Structures are given as C-alpha cells and as structure tokens.
Amino acid sequence: MKKVIIVFAILLVLLIVVAGGAFAWYTNALKPVDTFGEEAVVLEIPEGTGISGISKILEEKGVIRNADACKMYCKIAKVGNLQAGKYSFEEAKSVPEIIAKIASGDVLTDEIQITFIEGKNMRWYAKAIAEKTINSEEEVLNLLASEEYIDSLIEKYWFLTDEIKDEDIYFPLEGYLLPDTYTFENAEVSPETIFNVILNFTDKFLSKYKDDFTYSVHQTLTLASMAEMEGKSTEDRSEIIGVFLNRIDKGMSLGSDVTTYYAFGVDMAKNDLTVKQLNTYNPYNTRGPNMEGKIPIGPICNPSRSAIEATLTPTQTDALYFVADKTGKVYFTKSNDEHSEIISKLKSEGKWYVYE
C-alpha cells in the first residue's frame, strides 16, 4: 500500500511539475516578443485563412513567439471572426492584443487623404496633389489647359459656365474647388477623379444657395476669393463685400492688393508688390488702370464656405474703403481722408506694407 501511495505521490508531483512547466511556457509564449525592429512589421492575412494559418503567419513574421500557443489562446478565449486584410504592427504586443487587433479588422488600406487649405490657389492645389499621388504638378495643370476636358465639366456641372473659358483666365477651375479633406482610393488616383470628387462637394454646397446669387456664380466666387484673402473673420469678409459692392455701384475700382499679388504671381508671404505692378493693367489687377467698376476676370484662390456665405450675405455699410494691417486687422472708412489717416497711423506703427 505504501508503494502505491509513493508512486501516486511521485506521479502527482510530476504532473504538477509538467503542468506548471506547460503553464509557464504558455504564459511566456503569450508575451510580446523580445526583439522588434525599428520599422513596422506589415503582414497580410488572405481571405479564408483559419486560426492555425493566421498563427503560423504571425510566428513567421516574428510578431508572436509561438504559433501553437497562439492557437491555444484563441481556443481558450473562444476567439472567432478574425478578419482578412493587411495589418501593420509598429511595436511588440502580447498575443491577446495582436488577436484583438485582427478581430477588430484594423487593417491597413491604400487610401490617401489630401487636405486642400482655404485660400490656396490652383498652383498650390497642383502641388498638394503631386505630393500625395503619382501625378506631377505639370500633369495636373496640363489637364486644366484641355478645352475638351473643361467643356465636359461645363456640361456636367450647372455652376460651371463658359465664363471659365476666357483666354485671360489662368486656371479655369480656380475658385470652384471647395477646400476640405478628401479621401481617395489610392495614390494612383487620376486628376480627373480628384476634381470630380471635389466638384461634387462644391455642387452640393452651392446648390443650397442656388436662388441667392445676385451676380453670376463665377462673379460671386471671384468676390468670395478676394474676401477670403482680405479678411480673416466672416464678419470682416461680409463687410468687405459690402465695400466692394458700394465701389462697383459708384464706378470705382475695387483697389484690392490681393488681386495684384495673384495677377503677377507674387507670394504674399515673401514679397511686397512694386509700384510698377500696381499700375500695370491686368484683368485680375483691381489696382491697375481700366478696372473701374469691374470685378476681376476670375477667382484668385479657392474660397472657404464661410467666405462664399459672406459674399451671399454682404453687410450693408456706408464704407467705401478698407485696409488691413500686417496683423490682419481690417479698418473700414467712409472717405478717402479717413482712409489716408488710417494708413498714416499704420505706417507710423510699422504695420503697413511697403512697396518698392
């Protein structure tokens, strides 16, 4: 009897040791791997791959310590519905964390996002597209030079008219590409697709105001683009439009520096305008000759929603002049004398743009 008890005790001890060892191995195998490279590990789980296959892929890619332990965990935790796709692992994680990621379907996609910033012009848009896609700036701008392409857009969108085909307009879609962040399938997206997606959003936005246009859509977007560049707040922009309308009614030129910057391709952030540029005729340049009572030939940037709305709801004002200092603050005045006084004050305070 004693021998039986001794044998049983030995077996029990061995069982405990084996079980303890197995448990230690299992818990250790579920821990994050000891080494993980500086770069993320990207792997793909094909459609129809089961837990056994997924565990093997994870082990082969060095994401987990042991495939068998991973399978055991999935069975014990009753894991199901692991989703196929491409996954990225940026750092070492435990098996439960890795399996939870795959179960959630947190897959990598080839989608790209392009953010088009308010107040940026077509050249900036082309550069933004080139940075995120396989297209070059030249390819984007060449597309805009295609009369056939522009005609196809005019036929498709109610707000695009022959006004954008004027030979003096730099870029036909300038002003019509509503700023926002847009998502595309991948970096191989064509400029045509990009413009179609943006124009669809522009269509949806402008359609809400279809009955509110006093001027043509083209002229409204042109004024909105000027207000975008001249004022920072919606309130300032609404009053700026009020001033523009007053000057148009009186046959005065709009006298907006931002149109001159655009006309001659001068970067506002880096350079001031010259007297020669200010006094040179250009259908965009409202500071130049022969522009009395005229709206520029086209938009000078792609205005924001708020700038467009401000243009559609201008502030009723007696002001005929406004000026913005270098901080962006806008001053409105009713007479040239008041306007000159504000400019003198700004110059004395070092807040005035100096033209050479």
98-135 pLDDT, tens digit each: 999 999 988 888 889 999 999 999 999 999 999 999 99
Taking phi over 0 as left and psi of -120 to 50 as alpha, with beta for the rest, 209 belongs to alpha
Compute the distance between CA of residue 99 and CA of residue 212 in angstroms, rounded to an integer: 55
Residue for token pair 């270098």: 326
Compute the distance between CA of residue 299 and CA of residue 256 in angstroms, rounded to an integer: 13
* Residue 280 CB contacts under 8 Å (≥ 6 apart), including other chains: 264, 288
Q: Which pLDDT value is given to residue 272? A: 81
pLDDT band at 6 (very low <50, low <70, confident <90, very high): low
Helix or strand run (H / E) with residue 44:
strand 41-45
Burial class for 61, CB neighbours closer than 10 Å (0-12, 13-18, 19+): middle
The answer to whether residue 20 scores a pLDDT higher than 60 is: no
The answer to whether residue 355 scores a pLDDT higher than 60 is: no
CB of 137 within 8 A of CB of 117? no
Taking phi over 0 as left and psi of -120 to 50 as alpha, with beta for the rest, 49 belongs to beta
The answer to whether residue 194 scores a pLDDT higher than 90 is: yes
Compute the distance between CA of residue 299 and CA of residue 292 in angstroms, rounded to an integer: 18
Q: Which pLDDT value is given to residue 344? A: 92
Identify the structural domains of the chain with CATH numbers, from first to last.
32-108 (3.30.1490.480), 112-207 (no CATH), 217-348 (no CATH)
Two tokens at 48? Answer: 């129809």
pTM of the entire predicted model: 0.77
The answer to whether residue 295 scores a pLDDT higher than 60 is: yes
